[in-house]
Structure 1
């Protein structure tokens, strides 16, 4: 007997009603069970009289498997960490666990726990890097395993860690790279006829273009941008969406990001293939060449061949290496310049910076970089930018169950150490939400000499990560930031015109730029808004 339409609709309503009740019961049960477990575990920590490592309390959630994924993915930078900080203070905890996409993830923010995270041999990053290779760089799974091997015989084979130690972190290597960057940066500015008479620009947007060109040339040589002058457009779209791809956002909802990634990798493939046709240049092992740039690039390319990577994977690996050099140094430079040039910032900050910088200018107008890295106020302000504007997540996989400080984590889980909570902890830093350029200044009790220092801040301040996986480009990044600031302020008159793109509550005017939306862990946060300035080359 055929069913009529009303009967079918009635059946569907009953089915959907039953489904809704089932889903509702699952949500209620999940929340109540996790809430009760959380309160019991939090009390266990509070009542504990011994030094035994305990499991971090699991934050209550309503959705099985997804857990806290949706709340953690809030793109208003700092919102989740501010909430979590409140929970930590209320329950007296130094770590919590959350469920992220089915994986128990331990958020550790106690000083001892963070220090232990950097030292623990039970934690590693290979599988996480392999995921990055596939999702962010477009590698095949096989290539990602070759690019980020779990076990490497360091005595017999080259490794990226060894390459970076010898050709990126050593004094001679980093000074050579900085010198090339400064030469390229100054050369580009000198060729800009608009700056002779003076020009109005949006400071950060203009700065990004100039620094991108100089950094890419210093690292990869001049040939890349000669072949693909529009490479910066693809790179920037990819960079801004990197975390979304890492978290597995489907291509359907991020087609522009994936298209930009594919275009950037394709351009790098063509650049690599062109360079590999010139073996004579490689045989000379130069400090820098137009084809492949700094020596560290040659050495990385040798590693790629050792690992048997496809040309597509090699291009992706170069893309993430370039991002490691560019993605943090450029916004850090932007934030530092914005604070120096702000008319509403710290009184006399700019004049004091100028006084320091003038001591580092050579007679030919160039900058003494080693002297620059010793200037107390400038370096203190640089570290204050990193303290205030770095949203780094030190992420590790748990290979073997272990105690991380007094936090016990199990094999197969993840550990995350967030800078946002520690860098803004009032127990570690007074008035943590305020930009204080003098925060890291020191004074010798005997000589009265003023200096700067981050010594002794271990698990309180770690803008470059820590342990075996500390950022290999940190020394160059610092010299790049300070060098850029010095070149601009010593050689150009820069006058504030107005803020743009960021509303303030005062008189409806536009105010100091804010933080750009992004997922947690986007390292030096992006700049929302800008500063309109007039820039003019100083007369010699």
Structure 2
């Protein structure tokens, strides 16, 4: 057993034989795509070492994902396509801008429908088999234009496009802007209530973000009635969040009973809220999320699906937002010069009422501030970690290799986001945080002819090297709201408070000898929170 455990933890050397030279057949003009696929099928990509076939890689991918990705990253340094098996499913790990672009395409050749029908819908939405079958029967795809042979399908029959539309509507300004403004006002008022002027407070970063900030985010979406009905909602949510990976895969309830118990408790609270008429009708921001619930109802899906959809809306609003917020605060509090630079920049996003003297944060301007955007982008790059997944619906060629139908494609975010060629800069390697990585300086001339230099936000690499929100149909619909909320909290903190770093602690409060790293338990599941807590002192100035 000890030798198997060592293998699963990746302590053995990776024993693979890489080809002496990887031939890229796609550089040739072969004419008919079928000819290209036929020629490409003569070669096969390198396989990730699997000492216990179908078992070792599967178990390491699920239970020790960070170690798995570290192994895969070393192989992907030499080969842009690598094979392994997840249970019985053949998986091709891909890297490189051209290869990843295939996953972003709106072609009917690749898609994520299988992942939803096999895992997301039944395991997270609680969708019965007959409702999942409606998605299985819809062969017209998710694109607005159906593939040949399905042009006559009606809108009602095309459940995939309807599902995508109600989610994409969340990203429209008129839908998320009221929630962002509600959150900004509530957050500003709460900070004033929690921390009186000129009093120093010792603050736990984890407690502040996971409890106080998360609660204000929930309140902005669902109102205070959610907490009146479910006082322990925040704890229930984080227990569910920590088990999401197991729950999505649908692993045995008998083995992972604690994960399912956490899910049942959390979903029960969501059901309480949806069954309470007073809670929903008393909150102005219901329009942001109610379209999803109503779409399932109007299309006669089982009532359980509405509860699952609502639970995932809250998950999308908190799960990645809170850890990224933590990392931004860590970087800012740890660097006094960055704190001051952001304080100066954020000051330009405030306006003062001439009658009352009240200063108000412009939530529309905050996301346009270049240095703040750069810090946000850099934190996303370093701390978001999941694999972009697509299934191959029709045979394709990637990097000269024929990829048959039924294969699962995965683009590891860790490999793309840490690529030295794409992100590295002299004195600032890709693996390190650099606040100004996504900033350029532009000369601006005023009316008097005086020239000054101003920061301008500019992504340091192409979009195919940066996909923290996914891409194409599966891009996160709540990304704009999440960005507004994260940057609003940071803007309010740097403006209202003097902040100082005290010390680092373990999660249990005991002293830590090092600073925080990405928590490996969340590798492959989205944003990785810090594995240490930061104790801070701050004092509200005004």
TM-score (norm 2): 0.81
Q: Which residue of 1 aligns with 2:467?
A: 462
Give the one of 120, 123, 129 matched to 2:116.
129
CA contact (8 A) 2:363 2:484 kept: yes
CA contact (8 A) 2:183 2:216 kept: yes
> Could you tell me how far apart the structure 1 residues matched to 2:402 and 2:442 are?
41
CA contact (8 A) 1:98 1:106 kept: yes
CA contact (8 A) 1:502 1:512 kept: no
| Alignment of 1:388 onto 2:391 | no
- Greater C-alpha Rg: 1
Give the one of 311, 316, 321 matched to 2:313.
321
Higher alpha-carbon deviation: 443-452 or 174-183? 443-452
Q: Which residue of 1 aligns with 2:363?
A: 369
> Could you tell me how far apart the structure 1 residues matched to 2:102 and 2:135 are?
27
> Could you tell me how far apart the structure 1 residues matched to 2:163 and 2:288 are?
10
Q: Which residue of 1 aligns with 2:503?
A: 498
Q: Deviation per CA, 1:377-413: give whole Å up to 9, x if none.
A: 1110110001111102111122222224544321111
> Could you tell me how far apart the structure 1 residues matched to 2:279 and 2:69 are?
50
Give the one of 350, 360, 364 matched to 2:349.
360
| Alignment of 1:73 onto 2:72 | no
Q: Residues 112 and 100 from structure 1, CA distance in 2 versus in 1: closer, same or farther, beyond 3 angstroms? A: same
1:456 positional shift = 5.6
1:415 positional shift = 0.7
Q: Which residue of 1 aligns with 2:193?
A: 191
| Alignment of 1:84 onto 2:87 | no
Q: Superposed, which structure 2 residues align to 1:94-493 within 5 Å?
A: 94-119=80-105, 120-130=107-117, 131-145=119-133, 150-151=138-139, 155-156=155-156, 159-166=162-169, 168-192=170-194, 197-275=199-277, 281=281, 289-290=282-283, 293-342=285-334, 345=335, 348-363=337-352, 364-404=358-398, 406-430=400-424, 431-444=429-442, 448-454=453-459, 457-493=462-498
> Could you tell me how far apart the structure 1 residues matched to 2:359 and 2:135 are?
43
Q: Superposed, which structure 2 residues align to 1:513-528 within 5 Å?
A: 513-518=516-521, 520-528=523-531
Q: Deviation per CA, 1:295-350: give whole Å up to 9, x if none.
A: 132211211112322222211111112111211111111100011001xx4x6111
Give the one of 37, 46, 65 matched to 1:57.
46
CA contact (8 A) 2:223 2:279 kept: no
Q: Residues 385 and 275 from structure 1, CA distance in 2 versus in 1: closer, same or farther, beyond 3 angstroms? A: same
Equivalent pairs counted in the alignment come to: 485
> Could you tell me how far apart the structure 2 residues matched to 1:455 and 1:276 are?
48
> Could you tell me how far apart the structure 2 residues matched to 1:438 and 1:48 are?
39
Q: Deviation per CA, 1:150-205: give whole Å up to 9, x if none.
A: 55768457723222333x22222222121011122223333336787443221122
> Could you tell me how far apart the structure 1 residues matched to 2:98 and 2:367 are?
30
User: Where do 5+ consecutive residues of structure 2 fail to align?
Assistant: 5-14, 29-35, 141-152, 353-357, 446-452
1:76 positional shift = 6.3
> How well do the aligned residues superpose, as a CA RMSD in angstroms?
3.1
**SS of residue in 2 equivalent to 1:83:** helix
> Could you tell me how far apart the structure 1 residues matched to 2:196 and 2:61 are?
46
Q: Residues 45 and 326 from structure 1, CA distance in 2 versus in 1: closer, same or farther, beyond 3 angstroms? A: same
Q: Which residue of 2 aligns with 1:27?
A: none
> Could you tell me how far apart the structure 2 residues matched to 1:502 and 1:326 are?
20
> Could you tell me how far apart the structure 2 residues matched to 1:149 and 1:297 are?
27
**SS of residue in 1 equivalent to 2:524:** coil
> Could you tell me how far apart the structure 1 residues matched to 2:188 and 2:470 are?
31
User: Where do 5+ consecutive residues of structure 1 fail to align?
Assistant: 1-23, 25-34, 282-288
> Could you tell me how far apart the structure 1 residues matched to 2:430 and 2:507 are?
22
CA contact (8 A) 1:75 1:519 kept: no
Q: Deviation per CA, 1:70-109: give whole Å up to 9, x if none.
A: 23235363x33332222233xx311111101110011111
Q: Residues 519 and 331 from structure 1, CA distance in 2 versus in 1: closer, same or farther, beyond 3 angstroms? A: closer
Q: Which residue of 2 aligns with 1:9?
A: none
Q: Which residue of 1 aligns with 2:450?
A: none
